[in-house]
Structure 1
Amino acid sequence: MTDLKSNSLNPTPQSGCDPHGQIIGQGDFQYRVNTQWGRLNAKQTPVENCHDMAFDSKGRLIMVTDHPQNNFIVYSKEGELLDAWGSQFPGAHSIKIVNENGEDFMYVVDSGWISNRHWDGKSYNEWDSPYNKVIAQAGFIAKLSMDGRVLFTISHPQTIGIYTPDQPFRPTDIAIAPNGDLYVTDGYGSDYLIQYDSNGRYIRHWGGQDNSDPNYNLVNTHGVSVDLRSPENPHLIVSSRFEQALKRFTLDGQFIEKIETPGAYIGGPVYSGDHFFAPVCWSHYNDENAVDSGFISVFDKNNQIVANLGGTQPEYINGALQPMVSTWDIFNHVHGIAIDDDGNLYVGQWRANNTYPFKLEKIK
């Protein structure tokens, strides 16, 4: 087993050690890091946090960022800038693209974080301070046409009687079922998973942190996906990030299984064949979520981790996954992942010094 204490917290990629060209991963999942793929002119097309990405049916990669100048950056697969636009999503956090009757649409999740015009220039984690760099408001979800026209929005659940006015709503992710139902994680708010129909009408919700059965608890529920790898048994995989776990639920909210990910504050899955990839924002190190310690976990069809990209090799002892940690030399905080038809990964990061997406080029 890897000695976690032998991994230094420094250097990080943005502190002088560019990981461009390094080969990362284990076994069948090894990749060459290309840090130059998505780099743009920062004055013309700035980014803050590269929160999430998704491919449309034309093969374009669309990224959401919370920079007030451009919420959406559109790339070709070669990394060329095709378009940049939008300022109406100051807390842009997640994007999903669906094709309905031959036409693409996108869902955008705004977590409610906005840039603070009273920022003192130094406070980043003082969430209750009026001088922090970002401050919270209510979030929302929007369905858009691909040219950016808003078709409908889903607002604070107090408007339909699910929440009381004092409960925060700061959603983090959305998944779309084959029948069009929407599943929204309220991971920065009240930690519920809320199910709506395709028109945004409420169906049910579950989660929170005070259930008599702790299997239903969700703690910083950051990501959600519909697992269609077994078409006869579709279900949800939901991150409970601060439990260092993923949880499986039926589409109507019945608990199935908890997937432990010790050492990894893990996000929601992105699928590729029988496997899925999940972003890890932080490693649990020295009893805290450590700075600049992200990586990517690769799960097989049995939901076991077979590789960690930018992290230590996974190891199971008597069926139990041993704690994992970053290798500290590739990523800051992995937040969003997209996968192309050739198995290459595109990685967006939070708090990575305004870094553009990396491309991880799969080694055949």
Structure 2
Amino acid sequence: MSDRRSFLKTSVIASAGAAALTQSAAIANAAGDGDATDAKLIGHGDFRYRVHKDWAKVDPAQTPIDNCHEMVQDSKGRLVMIGDDPRNNILVFDKSGKVLDSWGTYWPGGHGLTLVNEGGEDMLYVSESGWARSLQDGVTMVRQNGYIAKMTIDGRMLFTISHPMTVGAYTPDMGFQPTETAVAPNGDIYVADGYGSDYILRYDEHGQFIQKFGGRDNEDKNYNLANAHGIALDSRDPANPKLIVTSRGQRAFKYFTLDGKWLKTVKLANLQICRPVIRGDHVYAGVCWSHNNADVNIPKPWLYQSGFTMVMDKDDRVVSCPGGEQPIYEGSVLQTVKQDQAKTFYHGHDVCIDEDENMYVCQWNGERTAPVKLERV
């Protein structure tokens, strides 16, 4: 922890003790305007944040935003975001929120963004999910097959991975709508087909197919995935690297070996989480929804805004839900966590953690808002 963070944390604890600040009061004062006051904090335990909704300096006329899907930090400290507005799929920010660059018109369903340093050079793996707006009305969503693109950090395409039927892994009638990738130390590429057929597909560093696992109809149900929305390489135990896979429809993370053997399932109550993001000993994720569709009386219940973010420790226990209620366990079982009363977020789709442990939150269906910065205190 930096000296500055240590000082801020001590100040916050002292202020909280002196003022007897309750959790409900903190939630009621949850930030939204970027005003830096200690009362306007969200999160729980050691993971508390000051909200800066106006962090990104984005001119919508110059760099329009639709959905902010994912964000990564490159080796120069820049924050690189992918969205699905095809006029500028990629936005590049500095740490102050200034837009440094924008490029890419290839991905009407731009969704996943993974950054890997390969031989000292940053590489981007982009997941085109196959969802696009109709050319006729600009509103209706059209579903088609997607692909994976390996890019240089400035947008030069190196190769693509297309429908798995081309290598005999899928039949032609199976949908392929990839949502995320992860890259192993040996260069193997793992593709999560989260909007398609729910398999994890493994390729070598050149894009040659190796294997698939997951899917929906396994005799051993531990292997079944439902909306395999995200995947990440977990190297917290360097001797035993593994994969964390999101099974959002099951409200769970599933751990697998690098050759696809199921290890364990972590159930997350009502949290419909997006991709896992690992920083230090913790796993972070956006929570896209926390409600049940049947409980929401609107025509399109998936548009109901109930999202936030979450932090999970190395023992797979959720320790903080910034933008949500405090997580509570009964024994080893996480209880229902709802969005905070302040409605800090719409739908948490991804998070990026910088070197100061600040969190940047990308939102789906966020009324075209730019990423939100959470300053850790």
Q: Same fold (TM over 0.5)?
A: yes
2:288 is the alignment partner of 1:281: yes
Residue number in structure 1 paired with 2:238: 231
**Equivalent residue letter for 1:51:** H
Residue number in structure 2 paired with 1:114: 132
2:287 is the alignment partner of 1:257: no
Provide the rounded CA distance (Å) in 2 between the counterparts of 1:135 and 1:53: 24
The Cα offsets for residues 129-184 of structure 1, whole Å up to 9 and x where unpaired, read as xxx52201110000011121110000001111111111110000001111111111
Provide the rounded CA distance (Å) in 2 between the counterparts of 1:360 and 1:191: 32
Aligned pairs (5 A) from 1:179-328: 179-285=186-292, 287=294, 291-328=304-341
Aligned pairs (5 A) from 1:70-89: 70-89=88-107
Verify the 8 A CA contact 2:32 2:52 in the aligned structure 1.
no
Give the SS at the match of 2:306: coil
Aligned pairs (5 A) from 1:153-168: 153-168=160-175
The Cα offsets for residues 198-227 of structure 1, whole Å up to 9 and x where unpaired, read as 111111111111111111000011000011
Counterpart selection for 1:333 from 347, 351, 355: 347
Provide the rounded CA distance (Å) in 1 between the counterparts of 2:61 and 2:32: 21
Provide the rounded CA distance (Å) in 1 between the counterparts of 2:370 and 2:246: 25
Provide the rounded CA distance (Å) in 2 between the counterparts of 1:268 and 1:69: 25
Residue number in structure 2 paired with 1:100: 118
Residue number in structure 2 paired with 1:346: 360
Q: Which one has a larger percent helix, Structure 1 or Structure 2?
A: 2
Verify the 8 A CA contact 1:190 1:208 in the aligned structure 2.
yes
Provide the rounded CA distance (Å) in 2 between the counterparts of 1:268 and 1:138: 21
Comparing 290-299 and 279-288, the one that deviates more:
279-288
Counterpart selection for 2:180 from 145, 152, 173: 173
The Cα offsets for residues 311-330 of structure 1, whole Å up to 9 and x where unpaired, read as 11111112211122211511
Q: Cα distance, 1:285 vs. partner?
A: 3.8
Residue number in structure 1 paired with 2:75: 57
Residue number in structure 2 paired with 1:148: 155
Give the SS at the match of 1:159: helix
Q: Cα distance, 1:286 vs. partner?
A: 6.4
Provide the rounded CA distance (Å) in 1 between the counterparts of 2:33 and 2:107: 31
Give the SS at the match of 2:374: strand
The share of aligned pairs that are identical, in percent, is: 48
Give the SS at the match of 2:166: helix
Q: Cα distance, 1:85 vs. partner?
A: 1.3
Residue number in structure 1 paired with 2:21: none
Provide the rounded CA distance (Å) in 2 between the counterparts of 1:358 and 1:161: 42
Give the SS at the match of 2:311: strand
C-alpha RMSD over aligned residues: 1.8
Provide the rounded CA distance (Å) in 1 between the counterparts of 2:80 and 2:208: 27
Provide the rounded CA distance (Å) in 2 between the counterparts of 1:269 and 1:283: 17
**Equivalent residue letter for 1:47:** I
**Equivalent residue letter for 2:148:** I
TM-score for both structures, normalised by structure 2: 0.87
Provide the rounded CA distance (Å) in 2 between the counterparts of 1:263 and 1:19: 28
Provide the rounded CA distance (Å) in 2 between the counterparts of 1:65 and 1:228: 28
Residue number in structure 1 paired with 2:50: 32
The Cα offsets for residues 23-53 of structure 1, whole Å up to 9 and x where unpaired, read as 1000100000101111311111100000001
Provide the rounded CA distance (Å) in 1 between the counterparts of 2:216 and 2:291: 21
Residue number in structure 2 paired with 1:356: 370
Residue number in structure 2 paired with 1:124: none
Verify the 8 A CA contact 1:110 1:170 in the aligned structure 2.
yes
2:59 is the alignment partner of 1:41: yes
Higher relative contact order (CA 8 A, sep 6+): 1
Provide the rounded CA distance (Å) in 2 between the counterparts of 1:292 and 1:39: 24
Give the SS at the match of 2:321: strand
Q: Cα distance, 1:196 vs. partner?
A: 0.8
**Equivalent residue letter for 1:308:** C
Aligned residues: 339
Q: Which 5+ residue runs of structure 2 have no aligned equivalent?
A: 1-23, 296-300
Verify the 8 A CA contact 2:57 2:99 in the aligned structure 1.
no
Verify the 8 A CA contact 1:281 1:295 in the aligned structure 2.
yes
Give the SS at the match of 1:284: coil
**Equivalent residue letter for 1:257:** K
Verify the 8 A CA contact 1:36 1:358 in the aligned structure 2.
yes
